[in-house]
Amino acid sequence: MADHELWDEVQRPAAPPAPAGFPYTPTGRAIGAHLGEVHEHLRHELEQLRQVIAEVRGGRTSAAEAREFISELTMRQHNWAIGAYCANYCRVVTTHHSLEDAAVFPHLRRSDSGLVPVLDRLEAEHVIIHGVLEEVDRALVDVMGEQSDLLALQEVTDLLSAVLISHLDYEEAQIVEPLSRYGFFPGQL
């Protein structure tokens, strides 16, 4: 998967424009801002992940220590795990995407049919990102078992960084405003 482009960013659909003069509530604005805060947390942990992988490549830490470090990342809230390495970071991303897919996106679909192409695209990207997360875990397990070189681990980590940052940026650009208008669930505003 790391050898080719996973999606065409040019083909991403755009959300319809916000209605002119819409009276956003303070709660609505806070809801829209919250998505950015969650994404900043994911970006920060992704940077920590990249630093740990660089330490493994530089011989400053072992792959086993890197996996342990990742298990200590701050958010632990979902029982589904791709593998031991992703027990936390991967779990955080999975939880975030699962909540969006199961609750937030259906609410936005019902609230504004113009968002459907964007939401469909975001869900499709979630599936791709989870495949990359699995690749990162496999690469780290291979390094631990000395079945792979560190370059493969770096390449798949770079791929994860590229696709996840691209996805987070796109998601923010397309749904922060609708979240500010409609909230995360019905009756919230």
One digit per residue, the tens of pLDDT, for the chain of length 189 reads 444 478 889 999 999 999 999 999 999 999 999 999 999 988 998 888 788 878 877 888 877 777 676 666 544 333 222 234 344 666 677 777 778 888 889 999 999 999 999 999 999 999 998 888 888 778 777 776 665 667 887 888 899 999 999 999 999 999 999 999 999 888 887
- Residue 2, domain member (yes or no): no
Residue 34 in domain: yes
Task: List the structure tokens of 43.
Answer: 């970006």
Helices 63-71/116-144 angle, 10° precision: 140
Give domain status of residue 16, yes or no. no
Is 46 inside any structural domain? yes
Q: Burial of 153 by CB count in 10 Å (0-12 exposed, 13-18 middle, 19+ buried)?
A: buried
Question: What angle, 0 to 180 degrees and rounded to 10, lies between the N-to-C axes of helices 150-182 and 26-57?
Answer: 180
Structural domain containing residue 125: 25-181
Q: Is the pTM of this model over 0.85?
A: no
In a domain, 102, yes or no: yes
The total of structural domains in the chain comes to 1
91 occurs within a structural domain: yes
Which residues, including other chains, have CB under 8 Å from residue 68's CB and lie 6 or more apart? none
> How long, in residues, is the chain?
189
Q: CA-to-CA distance for 106 and 173, rounded, in angstroms?
A: 18
19 falls within a domain: no
